[in-house]
Amino acid sequence: MQEKCVTLTIDGQTVTVPEGTSVLDAARKINIQIPTLCYLKGVNAIGACRMCLVDVGARSLMASCVLPAAQGMTVKTNTPEVREARRINLQLILSNHERTCLTCVRSRNCELQALAKDLGVEEIVYEGYSVHRDIDDSSPSIIRDPNKCVLCRRCIAACQNIQQVSVIGATNRGFDTIVESPFSMPLGDAPCINCGQCIQACPVGALREKDDTDKVWEALADPELTVVVQTAPSIRVALGEEFGMPIGTRVTGKMVAALRRLGFDRVFDTDFAADLTILEEGTELIERMKSGGKLPIITSCSPGWVKFCEHFYPDFLENLSTCKSPQQMMGAVIKHYWAHKNGVDPKKVCVVSVMPCTAKKFECGRDELAAGGVADVDIAITTRELAAMIKEAGIGFTALADEPFDDVLGDSTGAGVIFGATGGVTEAALRTVYEILTGKTLENVEFTAVRGLSGVKEATVRIGDEDVSVAVAHGTGNARKVLDAIRRGEKSYHMVEIMACPGGCVTGGGQPIVPASVRETLDPRALRARAIYDEDESMARRKSHENPSVKKLYEEFLGQPGGHRSHELLHTHYQKRPQYIKDAE
């Protein structure tokens, strides 16, 4: 099909773009960077902040982010009038902004700060109406500071349109407008799933994760404690960005080296537990298929998704795999296997996990995730928090020589690492389930149908004489589509993979924040996923059941996948949670 195109002139240059392209995007195409604030590609285009004004010869200046390019249009992006109008808008936004850059989490990665610099704001001209509002730190994962909010509504678009959780919105009007939950409820009391996609969308320091680095420093300084760290698959393909490396750079070896420099006693790989998850969950799937158990089995690695299910789709709780997430399995294995093997008292072991995820902070505090009464994981920090620690410790990250993970629980396969990208868990499971069910060697391990960024992916794989059908959804908005279709009886699958975050863990709520201007041309979901698959390809073993240390764990300790010990340590249960009103149906 031929796309209809339009040709227009921007600052004297002619450009042809498909019909429907915004003037903002058309300008980017010829390397003209119009400033933006409320616009975020693929998330929010509402023309609210008016930073992106341009002159198209109309009576007033127009917001280019929501203005479709038209045939024959003449656009001026850099006239004195345009510059002045943008500057006044920016000045107004700055007038009631709590300007504390020096101590702000987003300093140096703040779109407002960058705008002030780029637009040459040299003094604050207006002193606006401002009241200090309370910071909401009721959530275990997300902190909201309304004093830094510029009301761009990008977080609202992420929460309502992309994630379709809709626990935050704009309320009141005029100067009193604020982004909050219904009835000014603290976020911790609302059915927020802690996914952190609102943080990812926020241009400024109004949203951040709850900072747990002090707890980690404290543990590291405690001579009584053995402090063990685990890193999720996605950290290694994103951490480098915090040190100026291009998006999608693999820094596995440097990351391990940096963790050792920070003083962790052991550096383990959550990928090990991902392999373990595949054995447990693969076994669970096969059992359910054989015994007529509840299908589809739905993955349970993503704590944002699990909480979403508990609040909004409790009728699917029985479908959830009973497997704990890899973070929690790893903690349980460290405390109940590794500690005993190494003669350490599990109560004196502190497990820190570095996660791409803000929901992991909530997950590790869930009461039921404490095998034998000790919390599986003690502290969960995000990629951003780890980067901050490395900087604070003065470790020259980019110059570090690569180091390997520590033995045994540092072992992993390519199947473990692909957990980081949407479709990865499914692909890893298929690699193992295929070989278990058929007893044959799987030659081509790459199931490309479940890779990539379409919101919902489906595939049917012939395994022995069974057609195994799978679906993959990333982002809870997409999860709704799959679950609604199953509810209506339109679809049925053997297995469904759901990750709360669009793109999967690589773009989780705890990952480095990529500014809107960069997201305009680069997609971190694709670039980091590419790195994940490269890492998979580089591994000697690419099937979870071939992980020698996992095999050893079963031989020495667990017995069989799905066996008694596994159930004690590696499996869990879920609970229906209310939304806003306890007894509303």
- Give catalytic residue positions: 281, 284, 301, 321, 360, 363, 368, 505
Q: Which of 314, 405, 327 is nearest to 361 (CA)?
A: 327
Q: If binding is defined by CB under 6 A, does position 49 make contact with ligand FES?
A: yes
For the chain, what is the radius of gyration of the CA atoms? Answer: 25
CB of 236 to ligand SF4, least distance (A): 24
- State the minimum distance, in angstroms, from the CB of residue 294 to ligand SF4: 26
Count Cα atoms within 13 angstroms, Cβ side, for 546. 14
Task: Rule CB under 8 A: say whether 167 interacts with another protein.
Answer: yes
Q: Residue 181 interacts with another protein (CB under 8 A)? A: yes
CA 582 to chain centre: 29
Report H helices in 96-153: 111-118
Question: Pattern 458-497, binding to another protein, x per CB under 8 A?
Answer: ----------------------------------------
Q: How far is CA 583 from CA 28, 181, 191, 313, 318, in A?
A: 51, 19, 14, 15, 21
What are the structure tokens assigned to 181, written together?
A: 């939950």
By CB under 6 A, residue 289 contacts ligand FES: no
For ligand FES (CB under 6 A), the number of binding residues is: 12
In the list another protein, ligand FES, ligand SF4, none, the entry touching 39 (Cβ below 5 to 8 angstroms by class) is: ligand FES
- The verdict on 202 binding ligand SF4 (CB under 6 A) reads yes
User: Looking only at residues 307 through 336 of this chain, which bind ligand SF4 when binding is defined by CB under 6 A?
Assistant: none
Interface with ligand SF4 by CB under 6 A: which range of 54-62, 195-203, 273-281, 456-464?
195-203
Instruction: Determine the Cα–Cα distance for residues 152 and 194; give it in Å rounded to an integer.
Output: 20
Distance CA 205, CA 358 (A): 16
Q: Which of ligand FES, another protein, ligand SF4, none has residue 366 at its interface (CB below 5 to 8 Å by kind)?
A: none
> Which position among 8, 10, 37, 207 is part of the footprint of ligand FES (CB under 6 A)?
37
Q: Establish if 160 lies at the interface with another protein (CB under 8 A).
A: yes
Q: Are strands 226-231 and 178-180 parallel, antiparallel or unpaired?
A: unpaired
At its nearest, how many Å lie between another protein and the CB of residue 486?
18
Instruction: Look at residues 465, 446, 457 and name the one whose alpha carbon lies nearest to residue 289.
Output: 465
Is 61 among the residues that bind ligand FES (CB under 6 A)? no
Residue 448 sits in the site that holds another protein (CB under 8 A): no
Buried/exposed code over 4-41 (b: 16+ C-beta within 10 A; e: otherwise)? eebebebeeeebebeeebbbbbbbbbeebebbbbbbbb
Number of residues that bind another protein (CB under 8 A): 16
Q: Which of 34, 69, 158, 289 binds ligand SF4 (CB under 6 A)?
A: 158
Q: In degrees, to the nearest 5, what angle opens at C-alpha 389 toward C-alphas 386 and 393? A: 145
Out of 10, 17, 38, 309, the residue judged to bind ligand FES by CB under 6 A: 38
Phi-psi region of 47 (alpha: psi -120 to 50; beta: other; left: phi over 0): left
Instruction: Give the DSSP H/E element, type plus range, for residue 369.
Output: none
Contacts (Cβ under 8 Å, ≥6 apart) of 563: none
Q: Which is nearer to ligand FES, 91 or 322 (CB)?
A: 91
Q: Which of 34, 63, 67, 206 binds ligand SF4 (CB under 6 A)?
A: 206
Q: What share of the chain is helix, strand, coil (3-state, %, to 5)?
A: 40, 15, 45
Asked whether the beta carbons of 474 and 449 are under 8 A apart, the reply is no
153 contributes a contact to ligand SF4 by CB under 6 A: yes
Ranges within 96-115 binding ligand SF4 (CB under 6 A): 97, 99-101, 104, 106-107, 110, 112-113
As a whole number of angstroms, the distance between CA 227 and CA 105 comes to 26
Site size for ligand SF4, by CB under 6 A?
Answer: 40
Strand partners, 496: 298, 471
* Nearest residue (CB) to another protein, 183 versus 540: 183
User: Which positions lie near another protein, rule CB under 8 A?
Assistant: 160, 166-173, 181-183, 579-581, 584
User: Which positions lie near ligand SF4, rule CB under 6 A?
Assistant: 97, 99-101, 104, 106-107, 110, 112-113, 142, 148-155, 158-159, 163, 165, 167-168, 179, 192-198, 201-207
User: Which positions lie near ligand FES, rule CB under 6 A?
Assistant: 36-39, 47-52, 63, 65
